[in-house]
Structure 1
């Protein structure tokens, strides 16, 4: 899972990123606070950790503007700890609010809870691209009135590719996604699953839907 950190205190930011990466989260950040809103959204992060006291725009403005164009989860992490700050953050669309100094385990638990809720929400919806419809809830894929059932791994692979259509997804990123299924995953496991998925798509008429980008990964 990728987290985008919006924090102007370099020491605190470095410590936070080091902590999160030690728990296998991928972290991105930026010092370009003038354009932090677009950078945060363009990162395609699974969760944004947002401070309130920032250069150029405060966290309230950032939260409000992000929420206008994206439903990415936002957790406000700030030293401002009065009820009004928390209420304002929630009213502007934040998903959670935690104050500094925070208990590390509580922070990690809240991050995990938000990501779990978001993942469950995403998997209850449908994704459509060029006539192909993927049902997360039913673990099935439809194309021209034909249907195929998918395994959990095939569902995860196709979901990532369809939600990032026209972008190359590396094999490492796909293996990270499969690892969430608590199964042993290696390079051969990914190849087998992609080949099975391709065969199922071909059987319902969606041949060559998944493209191989040699040395880079896959895309649709």
Structure 2
């Protein structure tokens, strides 16, 4: 049973979401003190975090930043705010997806299931290491290492890199990446993929590898390999 931490201050909405998720065998926890979200997160050690933006004390962006600094647990935002800036901000902070309120519960379940499959199942695949332009990509530890150092990637970032490395020097079209990463492109904006790829490229720049992820305008991306 997956443990879900629902950081939501609307008592009625919290109760409704908890009841619905419980029907799908998720073990749902709430926050008793919104000044101690970090402490409660550490105590619960959830497999997934659902978080609202507008919260008492500090907003959801703050707590996303705090949680991401200590954990790679998948994070989904639930918010009535529909401005693109909020969606982009959530992805830049390391969130895995953004669900706008009011939402159809089937959509929420689909997104939760897609994220959990992606995060907790793909590491069972047999290929754990990959050599790429003098660097070692470790798909189990979510790291890329070369002589310049080592970086850690989020689940989304390592998954995107894996998809590109499986077809080195070939263009992977955007729709293929979206379908692979989010299972159903109806549930994600095209801009979300762009944000994740840009974030991946920025991290790879620390190892002087960012330029090997090439954007093909109107098509997709490719991972150049000179090894």
1:17-57: CA deviation from partner (whole Å, max 9, x where unpaired): 00100111111111210011221233121100000000111
Instruction: Please tell me whether Structure 1 or Structure 2 has the larger radius of gyration of its CA atoms.
Output: 1
Secondary structure of 1:33's counterpart equals coil
Match in the other structure for 1:70: 71
Structure 1: unaligned runs, 5 residues or longer: 126-136, 138-220
Match in the other structure for 2:115: 114
Runs of 4 or more, structure 1, over 4 Å off, are none
Structure 2: unaligned runs, 5 residues or longer: 129-139, 141-227
1:161-205: CA deviation from partner (whole Å, max 9, x where unpaired): xxxxxxxxxxxxxxxxxxxxxxxxxxxxxxxxxxxxxxxxxxxxx
Secondary structure of 1:34's counterpart equals coil
Task: State yes or no: 1:51 paired with 2:48.
Answer: no
Distance 1:68 1:19 in 2: 30
Tell me if structure 2 keeps the 8 A contact 1:49–1:76.
yes
CA RMSD after TM alignment:
1.9
Tell me if structure 2 keeps the 8 A contact 1:4–1:49.
yes
Distance 2:59 2:83 in 1: 16
Query: For residues 42 and 121 of structure 1, do their structure 2 counterparts lie closer, same or farther at Cα, with a shift above 3 Å needed?
Result: farther
1:71-93: CA deviation from partner (whole Å, max 9, x where unpaired): 00000011111101000000001
- Higher relative CO (CA 8 A, sep ≥ 6), structure 1 or 2? 2
Q: Report the TM-score, using the length of structure 2 for normalisation.
A: 0.53
Distance 1:105 1:28 in 2: 20
Secondary structure of 1:57's counterpart equals coil
Match in the other structure for 2:17: 16
